[in-house]
Copies of this chain bind each other. A is one copy, B any other.
């Protein structure tokens, strides 16, 4: 599809239509998927290019929209069939998604191919897909400086060895508290984070939803509370918004040190705090660097003593 930019980060993940029900309402055919949430979040600071697959039902307006946000879609392949469709429901606590249906459709045979435009890019986000595919992406990239990997309980259950193999080769992993416990076999999150680092990555990001993020970098760690939103309408995409925002901050600053990582974590948290305020990607459509900066200032005040 359309090429817009020379991307400075590559995102490989899902592009989907979501059907979402929360106590605040019910919406169908929302543009979603990990590559969409993370690229929109990243596009505020960086120029992401996405690798994914969509079906015939993915009208050109969706690509136009992504392109309008400086997201390169040359890695987005259209094939015969329907776009991946996920249906989920959240109860009042908004802490957990209950899957109502998963129609993989064209996503079932997704084999990510990295085009020439993307191969030499330095920053890569491997969003949650089969770890075997994540590994195949790593093999195709030629000039990586920093790779962030996301995953989910499914892969820990059914492809743990393959997942551990790819985790060994990345710089950072982003998991939620449940996944961190499951993958490390340790309940205490501080110990779990250290065990995950021992698997290879020098940076481990543990996401705790409304309870913020703990990150482990080399021998240090950092605790970032979440921004306390009063209007969580739809938590879908919070984790991918965090990851996209985080990596865009690293890519923009073109370097990895603990101070940049801490600021990138807070940046990612703030982006995610906006995402959840509306259904789908609605809030990300108009979000600016200035909005995020203001919220960071507000957040700094909230935690200072």
A303:B222 contact, CB within 8 angstroms: yes
Please state if A230 and B93 are interface contacts (CB–CB under 8 Å): no
Most B CB contacts (10 A, CB to CB) among A93, A224, A225 go to: A225
**By the criterion CB–CB under 8 Å, are A232 and B188 in contact?**
yes
- 1/0 per residue, CB under 8 A from B, across A205-216: the answer is 000101110100
Is B191 within 8 A of A230, CB to CB?
A: yes
The segment from A156-164, A259-267, A286-294 that touches chain B is: A259-267
Residues of B within 8 A of A303 (CB): 222-225, 303
Partner of A302, one of B189, B221, B259, B302: B221
CB contact between A188 and one of B188, B230, B265 (< 8 Å): that residue: B230
Chain B residues contacting A211 (CB-CB under 8 Å) are: 208, 211-212
The reply to whether the CB of A228 lies closer than 8 angstroms to some CB of chain B is: yes
**Interface presence of A62 (CB below 8 A):** no
Output the least CB separation between A303 and chain B (Å).
5
User: Measured between alpha carbons, how far is A259 from B212 in the docked complex, in Å?
Assistant: 23
Chain A positions 243 through 266: 1 when the CB is less than 8 Å from some CB of chain B, otherwise 0: 000000000000000010011011
Q: Cβ of A305 and Cβ of B266 under 8 Å apart?
A: yes
Is A108 part of the binding interface, using a Cβ–Cβ cutoff of 8 Å? no
- CB pair B222–A225 under 8 Å, yes or no, is no
* Any B CB within 8 A of the CB of A144: no
CA distance A212 to B225 in the complex (A): 9
Contacts A188-B232, A230-B190 known; A223 to B92 CB distance under 8 Å? no
- Chosen A-B contacts, 17 in total, with CB atoms closer than 8 Å, are A93-B187, A188-B230, A190-B228, A191-B230, A208-B211, A211-B212, A212-B225, A214-B228, A221-B302, A222-B305, A223-B302, A223-B303, A224-B303, A224-B305, A225-B225, A263-B305, A265-B305
Give residues in A with beta carbon < 8 Å to B: 92-93, 187-191, 208, 210-212, 214, 221-225, 228-232, 259, 262-263, 265-266, 302-305
The 9 closest A-B pairs by CB, nearest first: A262-B305, A211-B211, A190-B230, A223-B225, A92-B187, A190-B228, A223-B302, A225-B225, A223-B303
16 more contacts with CB within 8 A, not counting A222-B303, A225-B225, are: A93-B187, A188-B230, A188-B231, A189-B228, A190-B229, A211-B212, A214-B228, A221-B228, A221-B302, A222-B302, A222-B305, A223-B302, A224-B303, A224-B305, A259-B305, A303-B303
